[in-house]
Structure 1
Amino acid sequence: MFLDEERSVAFELVPHMASALEAASLLELERGESHRLANMFRTIGQPGLAVATTLAGGGVSAVSLAQLHTWVGAHCPSLAVMMTMHHHTVAGVMAASSFLPDIQGLLSAVARDNLLVASGFAEGRAHADILESTMAVEKTAHGYVVNGSKKPCTMTHHFDAITFGVNYIDPDGQTHLGIGVGFAGDSSIERKKFWSVPHLQAADSHEVMFNNLLVPESMMYFSKVVDDQLDDDQQGTGNHLFAIWFQLLASASYLGMASALARRALSSHKGSPDDRALLLTDLQGATMALRDLAVSIDENRFLRRDLARAQATRFAVQEAVNRISTRAFEIIGGMAFMSDEEVAYLLVATRVLAFHPTSRAASSHFLCEQLS
């Protein structure tokens, strides 16, 4: 059965959400209010899956989490995007907690209270650590004052907490990379409409602005060991945690969207055997590439060359997603395109993976350096 293994994982990890997604039509979910998806994620989607069991979380492996994202992507693309931003942030923070032990309190709260966490990170911006930020940070007697914005920011109106990279320069001129945390009810956090296209609109991706947001020292986490105590090969280990997790979960989510088109094509019994075989080959190849990346994450491989492999995997999957969706679209045929709105919606939605950082052009030098 198509996506059978992914479906089993979904019903094992989030049975109530999986049942709800199967019972609803894709377009009904995609064109509904974003709060419906956010509430579903918060109440029956287990936001603490990526948190360790020692912190009351699910302790789910990267392999299982990627399979879950693929299955959700096939049933509700906007929810898969929401989950990508939340889970890559929480999983990255979980992995970085060895560098930032004080942040474990936030992780426990996510698991205990089912908090939704928005991502305000650079998310793999080329030639910059993921914790680097364009936001202005000023140290005061009461904590840190943060100004700046993040757009698009998924779950703009529905997050409980938002994490963001900080780039603080102390009075001695030394730069400190770290993680700041803000909370939804703070009056210094403003939301502004940004996303205007209909595709993936239910993911609630708009602009979040920080206007003199005061972050107490207890909610600002700086690493004292990342980079400056590591050798050249390991440089960036702590910062790469977030980027590698992001490439895995984003790729898995969009592969799910392409899989939804492939499922329609295969069930239509149209197309030549060659076309159908090529479709299945790309699906299998992309699935196994993501499985290999997930296994490396579960083995705690987060060095520079691992980031390069993660980026290369993402671009390979991105190309496969494009081929899968295009071939499936052609097999399904023009009559289905004219009579089934989901077909056209999914075709466009799969292309959005190309717009997530980091870009292929910006990564070329790094990939050649690390992989050649």
Structure 2
Amino acid sequence: MTMHHHTIAGMMAASYFFPDLEKLLSLVARNDLLVASGFAEGRAHSDILASTMTVEKTADGYVVNGSKKPCTMTHHFDVITFGVNYIDPEGRTHLGIGAGLAGDPRIERKKFWGVPHLQAADSHEVIFNNLVVPESMMHFSNTVDEQLDEDQQGMGNHLFAIWFQLLAAASYLGMASALVSRALTAGKGSPEDRALLLIDLQGATMALQGLATSIDENRFLRADLARAQATRFSVQEAVNRIGTRAFELMGGMAFISSEEVAYLLVATRVLAFHPTSRVASSAFLCEQLG
């Protein structure tokens, strides 16, 4: 559901660059449709919107081939959205957002998620086999980077990335807070131990609230993306500290008697695997924030 909300929020924010997206959003809202996010391609250290999908213009619209993984809600979506890079006859690359419907036989699902943690996300591989996407369901940016100044370039990418950093970090902080709640309810540890948990939790929460405010103010420049990534990595470290400390405070009997405690500890660590990676971001963060 986080990825459903990320996709919808991202498309709403992107309507400045993709004005026709409003039609798709209206369709989703009117019919209470569940939207899957098909942007990742399982390639390490790559931009989530840098697609390897092939797109061919035809009289019927666009023919799309390729694979996206992991895609959320693989077997439960009504509409799947996906990113493409289309090269027009003049050789220009256009960032595009396409959509397909669940019942289309040219959309194939393939099991991808092999571990027990977070399986409820139903994140597997979706393969597009000559999927015909009508022009009404394929939307391209109406603003190319060459028309923007240096600070504004890439804003179409940035807004999706900033929204994702906020929602993903908030979701995993929620998992960590579930561990904190169990430790506090059990009255484990000293007041100082419990205060450390609350300090970390409060600090991470306030950082995310600050990031949410910048989104409300439509701040999607390169420096804003760097601050969003820095916030996410800061929260990620806080989540790791909170999870480990709460796990230790609850003690071995809680670990032995409840699968939930160990499950939550492992699940909180998965934030590290979501884009963008710290390695891929390091040079950019030094450039923008150093």
Q: Give the secondary-structure state (helix, strand or coil) at the position aligned to 1:274.
A: helix
Equivalent residue number for residue 270 of structure 1: 188
Task: Give the drift of 1:122.
Answer: 3.8
Amino acid at match of 2:150: D
State the aligned residue count.
290
Amino acid at match of 2:269: R
Q: Which of 157, 165, 172 matches 1:254? A: 172
Task: Give the drift of 1:351.
Answer: 0.7
| Stretches of 4+ aligned residues off by more than 6 angstroms | 123-127
Q: Which of 218, 235, 244 matches 1:300? A: 218
Provide the rounded CA distance (Å) in 1 between the counterparts of 2:215 and 2:230. Answer: 15
Alignment pair present for 1:84 and 2:2: yes
Amino acid at match of 2:109: R
Task: Give the drift of 1:98.
Answer: 1.6
Provide the rounded CA distance (Å) in 1 between the counterparts of 2:43 and 2:8. Answer: 19
Q: Compute the TM-score of the two structures, normalised by the length of structure 2.
A: 0.96
Q: Which of 361, 364, 371 matches 2:279? A: 361
Provide the rounded CA distance (Å) in 2 between the counterparts of 1:340 and 1:86. Answer: 30
Provide the rounded CA distance (Å) in 1 between the counterparts of 2:252 and 2:46. Answer: 44
Provide the rounded CA distance (Å) in 2 between the counterparts of 1:277 and 1:149. Answer: 47
Q: Which of 68, 78, 92 matches 1:174? A: 92
Provide the rounded CA distance (Å) in 2 between the counterparts of 1:86 and 1:123. Answer: 17
Task: Give the drift of 1:126.
Answer: 8.2
Long gaps (5+) in structure 2 = none
The structure carrying a bigger strand percent of its residues is: 2
**Deviation by residue 1:22-67 (Cα, 9 ceiling, x = unmatched):** xxxxxxxxxxxxxxxxxxxxxxxxxxxxxxxxxxxxxxxxxxxxxx
Provide the rounded CA distance (Å) in 1 between the counterparts of 2:40 and 2:169. Answer: 17
5 Å-filtered alignment, 1:219-368, equals 219-368=137-286
Q: Give the secondary-structure state (helix, strand or coil) at the position aligned to 1:119.
A: strand
Q: Give the secondary-structure state (helix, strand or coil) at the position aligned to 2:147.
A: coil
Task: Give the drift of 1:272.
Answer: 2.1
CA RMSD, aligned part only? 1.6
Alpha-carbon spacing, 1:349–1:127, altered in 2? closer, same or farther (3 Å): closer
Provide the rounded CA distance (Å) in 1 between the counterparts of 2:228 and 2:41. Answer: 13
Q: Residues 262 and 279 of structure 1 are in contact (CA less than 8 Å); yes or no, is this contact kept in structure 2? A: yes
Q: Residues 147 and 211 of structure 1 are in contact (CA less than 8 Å); yes or no, is this contact kept in structure 2? A: yes
Long gaps (5+) in structure 1 = 1-82
Q: Give the secondary-structure state (helix, strand or coil) at the position aligned to 1:195.
A: coil
Amino acid at match of 2:254: A
Provide the rounded CA distance (Å) in 2 between the counterparts of 1:85 and 1:332. Answer: 31
Identity in percent:
82
Amino acid at match of 1:283: L
Q: Compute the TM-score of the two structures, normalised by the length of structure 1.
A: 0.75
Provide the rounded CA distance (Å) in 2 between the counterparts of 1:146 and 1:313. Answer: 36
Q: Which of 57, 68, 93 matches 2:11? A: 93
Provide the rounded CA distance (Å) in 2 between the counterparts of 1:234 and 1:101. Answer: 18
Provide the rounded CA distance (Å) in 1 between the counterparts of 2:47 and 2:235. Answer: 23
Task: Give the drift of 1:241.
Answer: 1.1
Alpha-carbon spacing, 1:211–1:194, altered in 2? closer, same or farther (3 Å): same
Q: Residues 192 and 208 of structure 1 are in contact (CA less than 8 Å); yes or no, is this contact kept in structure 2? A: yes
Provide the rounded CA distance (Å) in 2 between the counterparts of 1:298 and 1:111. Answer: 21
Task: Give the drift of 1:228.
Answer: 2.5
Task: Give the drift of 1:235.
Answer: 0.7
**Deviation by residue 1:197-244 (Cα, 9 ceiling, x = unmatched):** 111112111111001111111111111214232100111111111111
5 Å-filtered alignment, 1:126-205, equals 130-205=48-123
Amino acid at match of 1:308: A
